[in-house]
Structure 1
Amino acid sequence: MFDLPLIFLVTSILLLLSIFSSKLAERFGFPALLTFLAIGMLAGSDGPGGIQFDNAAAANMVGSVALAFILFAGGLDTHWYNIKPVLVRGVVMATIGVALSAIVMGLFVCCILGFSWQDGLLLGSIVSSTDAAAVFAVLRSRRVSLRDNLRSLLEFESGSNDPMAIFLTLAVLQVISQNTMSWTELLPRFVVQMIFGGVAGWLLGRGAARLMNRIRLDYEGLYPVLGASIVLLTYGLIEKMGGNGFLAVYVCGLILGNSDFIYKKSLIRFHDSMGWLMQIIMFLVLGLLVFPSHLPRVAKDGLLSAAFLMVVARPVVTYLTLIGSSFSFSERTLAAWAGLRGAVPIVLATFPLLLGHPKSNEIFNMVFFIVLTSVLLQGMTLMPLARFLKVDKPLEYRPRYPLEFDKTENDVRNETRELDILPGTAVVGKTIGELHFPPGALILLVRRDKNFLVPRGQTVLEPYDTLLVLGEPEALKKAREVITRREIDNENEI
């Protein structure tokens, strides 16, 4: 019989330790997922926690649900105007690049480590996807970003390559378990699954945006619940219909995040929190599933595999898929080294465990070892390499306003916009009372450096001030014209 209070107590302690450990990760510049995994391992049967957990089916189920929410949150927070310039290259890296990485890695494991070609390709498929959250957690911890389109490329590639890795892993497992199945049968199935998943995700995303604007729920708190149900519906429906549910969830989030609907900011905040919660739970469960005492047995093969993946497989694939692009050699080199492995490979490594594959335990431990090595080595050296290659830039300062406006069902027209006061414009040195703003526009706040001023009629505007303005689109357009005007014909025109 379960001791429910004890379960609640242990769960809360693990979650709190994970949250506090993220500060430690930020200070020392390595991804927080490493601390989540470490806490899970310490709490497991081999650690001081002594929690007995070896249920691969439960870990797989938790991982699949978590991945659906993480991918949806990633799509929801991805801006189309950022990924549009790198869309083609990102798609190539997320599909052909993942397949090439799996093949190259599989050949190494087969020829050097003595695996069969099926097991080698299985291991290569499992570790073929990258983790965007791990990359940008490292950069954010040191207040650094990447310049030009490099960040957008890595973000889109890492966020969209999981479906390909999942398909390859399941396809190889089907070939192993059903010797009669051929790759000529799997390839058309892959094309159908990916196309159907992408189109269905697009349709469901458009439908979700319309639903958000048309439905009139009595309680605001039900809108985030509606968003969560859309995630589950999209994944479950598309998987049952034979499509790729993970790709559908990502595309649905991408379309919804780039649409205009009520309570959008609230929904984005909710799913950002859900994404973090799912990452913590997933890493803790996977940490509990691994037995640290088994890792030394695969240390040699794991180190060789990790080194080959980081130094050979990922760079070769990256340089090949970026041939003819506008990215410089330095940017391609950083992209090659930014292929951190995260939670997805560990989740995929639970599939062979579920099927009772003879080498499933060895493959799981090797994958876990590869992920840890990748996070430690690549995570700790990513920022110095970005600076050495001169592809870094200071992290853009994003102010957090003390007030925030979100569209509701009673006010779908008004929106907020930031208007910058540039040197040389007519409004510099004038008071807010002298601006003669259009009637439909209201100045909510004035941001000066990192401080916020309550706007008053006597407030004098200075160069590089930023006005947070509320109004309808047409009024905001006229307000921008007032702010950007450079010539003064007479005093009444201001």
Structure 2
Amino acid sequence: MESTVEAIATNNLIFAFVVIAITGIVLGRLSEILKIPDVIFYLIAGIIIGPSVFNIISIQSFPIENNLILTFGSAFILYEGGKEINLKVLNKVKISVGMLSTVGVIISALVVGVAAFKIFGISMMTALLLGSVIASTDPAALIPVFKQVRIKDKIKQTVVSESAFNDAVGAILVSTLLAILTSGEFSAMNSVKELLVSTVVGVVVGGIVGYILTVLISDKKMGVFHSYAPIVSILKAALAYELATKLNGSGYMAVFIAGLISGNKKMFGLWIPEEDFNSEHYFSESVNTLCRMAIFVVLGTQVDLNALAKYWLPALAIVLVLMFIARPLSVLVSTMFDKNSEWTFKDKLFMMWVRETGVIPAALSGIIVSMKIPGYEIISSVVFMTILITLIVQASTTKLLAKKLGILEEDNLKEDIKDMHATA
């Protein structure tokens, strides 16, 4: 019987891979032709092949496979996102990133919570829980968009770093409120302690794993595994996540830091032989693409159209509050204390708009649904309405807005060339 169960699980995983890969390749090519972010197509495809329409793949039939895809996929995307962050640039915007990741999340949770309390008539604790679930932005959603839309480094790295760091804060808020709802107990000290432990452990584990494994594939004497650089790239993400999680730290924080170390290896006096670096780069790009396909197709399969049909109007109102009140307020408050970053109004306007929601809120929503917390259907509907709207509306208009605001990389390059000609 055991071997039969294992065989079924194995076949399910292979079947899921085949469906996702075929869907992803076809729609990825379509997105290139139409110049629309591919994650939008993947999400819609997931809805169509999920339980709501054709029921080809469902979380009920593939629970282990779904969790594997969401956990490893988001971890690897976050690791790759960390590699693109320049520590010198990050150092200049550290205050903004820190404020957006903490104060910004709390502001969003409170604003959305109050709105949910008024609109749905649910208890304030349940409303705040809803607000906390969708308060954090999602790197797995943002990074793929920035792969296709080249904007100013300072803005990109601020938004991506924020999305990496604010996951921990959002998760702690959710776990704290769940503890209150289930046991009626609340300890501010324990919550702060949990957040600090989660963050510090994640940073330390990610730093150690990232550095040691980068040394082992470098051109130094200890770089005995440089020919296995592509495999080590996967190992970095998996090992950092697992170690941090087992030590009660933030796994996502750890993989981001591991990626940060890998992407800034020059600052640590490390270098990878060119041939091995190229093989790692192309391999990582392929794995990253597959993870992106898998994550958003799977998220689409989890959308409950019946629940959305029931709550779509109030859920839409909540999403609009998040997009046009909570997020702008979070950005304004979080950036007003950072004078060194010299943010322009256009920069802030862009950051207000770019706050896609994806994997982490979906995972938190899944936990709440499994616990059958009062109001879980409402929370689930709002979460997926938020994912749908922010991805379909915000992700698809990111390039257009960036162009209108003049913050695309090519726009800045043109300005630099004009300045050079003017001074020549």
* Band of TM-score, shorter chain: 0.7 to 0.9
Superposed, which structure 2 residues align to 1:349-368 within 5 Å? Answer: 349-368=365-384
- Are 1:56 and 1:350, in contact at CA under 8 Å, matched by a contact in 2? no
- Are 1:30 and 1:138, in contact at CA under 8 Å, matched by a contact in 2? no
Which residue matches 1:99? 106
Specify whether residues 264 and 50 from structure 1 end up closer, same or farther in structure 2 by C-alpha distance, changes over 3 A only: closer
One of 390, 400, 403 as aligned partner of 1:387: 403
Specify whether residues 68 and 138 from structure 1 end up closer, same or farther in structure 2 by C-alpha distance, changes over 3 A only: closer
- TM-superposition CA deviations, 1:117-175 (whole Å, max 9, x none): 2221221121122245645655665xx53346223322322333222222322332233
- Are 1:286 and 1:347, in contact at CA under 8 Å, matched by a contact in 2? no
Deviation at 1:51, TM superposition (A): 4.0
Deviation at 1:395, TM superposition (A): 7.1
One of 182, 197, 208 as aligned partner of 2:213: 208
1:45 lines up with 2:51 in the alignment? yes
One of 169, 189, 202 as aligned partner of 1:197: 202
- Are 1:175 and 1:182, in contact at CA under 8 Å, matched by a contact in 2? no
Which residue matches 1:297? 310
Rounded Cα–Cα distance in structure 1 between residues aligned with 2:183 and 2:131: 19
Which residue matches 1:129? 136
- TM-superposition CA deviations, 1:328-351 (whole Å, max 9, x none): 112111110111223332222111
Rounded Cα–Cα distance in structure 2 between residues aligned with 1:272 and 1:134: 16
Rounded Cα–Cα distance in structure 2 between residues aligned with 1:53 and 1:201: 30
- Are 2:122 and 2:375, in contact at CA under 8 Å, matched by a contact in 1? no
One of 297, 316, 337 as aligned partner of 2:353: 337
1:114 lines up with 2:121 in the alignment? yes
List gaps (5 residues or longer) in structure 1.
398-422, 424-494
1:281 lines up with 2:294 in the alignment? yes
SS at match of 1:24: helix
Larger radius of gyration: 1
Rounded Cα–Cα distance in structure 1 between residues aligned with 2:61 and 2:262: 35
AA at the equivalent of 2:38: A
1:20 lines up with 2:26 in the alignment? yes
AA at the equivalent of 2:131: G
- Are 2:47 and 2:53, in contact at CA under 8 Å, matched by a contact in 1? yes
- Are 1:40 and 1:288, in contact at CA under 8 Å, matched by a contact in 2? yes
Which residue matches 2:233? 227
Of structures 1 and 2, the one with the larger relative CO (CA 8 A, separation 6+) is 2
- Are 1:29 and 1:138, in contact at CA under 8 Å, matched by a contact in 2? no
- Are 2:140 and 2:292, in contact at CA under 8 Å, matched by a contact in 1? no
Which residue matches 1:374? 390
Rounded Cα–Cα distance in structure 1 between residues aligned with 2:241 and 2:16: 30
One of 329, 348, 353 as aligned partner of 1:316: 329
Superposed, which structure 2 residues align to 1:74-89 within 5 Å? Answer: 74-89=81-96
Over the matched positions of the two proteins, sequence identity in percent amounts to 25
One of 159, 179, 192 as aligned partner of 1:154: 159
Which residue matches 2:280? 267
More strand, by proportion: 1
AA at the equivalent of 1:68: A
Specify whether residues 374 and 78 from structure 1 end up closer, same or farther in structure 2 by C-alpha distance, changes over 3 A only: same
Rounded Cα–Cα distance in structure 2 between residues aligned with 1:131 and 1:82: 21
List gaps (5 residues or longer) in structure 2.
414-419
Rounded Cα–Cα distance in structure 2 between residues aligned with 1:170 and 1:157: 20
Deviation at 1:55, TM superposition (A): 5.9
Which residue matches 1:448? none
- TM-superposition CA deviations, 1:415-450 (whole Å, max 9, x none): xxxxxxxx9xxxxxxxxxxxxxxxxxxxxxxxxxxx
SS at match of 1:161: helix
Specify whether residues 385 and 228 from structure 1 end up closer, same or farther in structure 2 by C-alpha distance, changes over 3 A only: closer
Rounded Cα–Cα distance in structure 2 between residues aligned with 1:40 and 1:313: 29
Specify whether residues 181 and 97 from structure 1 end up closer, same or farther in structure 2 by C-alpha distance, changes over 3 A only: same
Deviates more, 1:113-122 or 1:297-306: 113-122
Count of paired positions? 394
SS at match of 2:150: strand
Specify whether residues 269 and 87 from structure 1 end up closer, same or farther in structure 2 by C-alpha distance, changes over 3 A only: farther
1:165 lines up with 2:170 in the alignment? yes
Deviation at 1:393, TM superposition (A): 4.1
- Are 1:68 and 1:249, in contact at CA under 8 Å, matched by a contact in 2? yes
SS at match of 1:98: helix
Deviation at 1:225, TM superposition (A): 2.4
SS at match of 1:146: coil
Deviation beyond 6 Å, 4+ runs, structure 1: 3-7
Rounded Cα–Cα distance in structure 2 between residues aligned with 1:287 and 1:148: 30
- TM-superposition CA deviations, 1:178-225 (whole Å, max 9, x none): 3223233211221122122212322222222223331524x93x4322
Specify whether residues 268 and 232 from structure 1 end up closer, same or farther in structure 2 by C-alpha distance, changes over 3 A only: same
SS at match of 1:145: coil
Rounded Cα–Cα distance in structure 1 between residues aligned with 2:139 and 2:330: 17
Which residue matches 1:244? 250
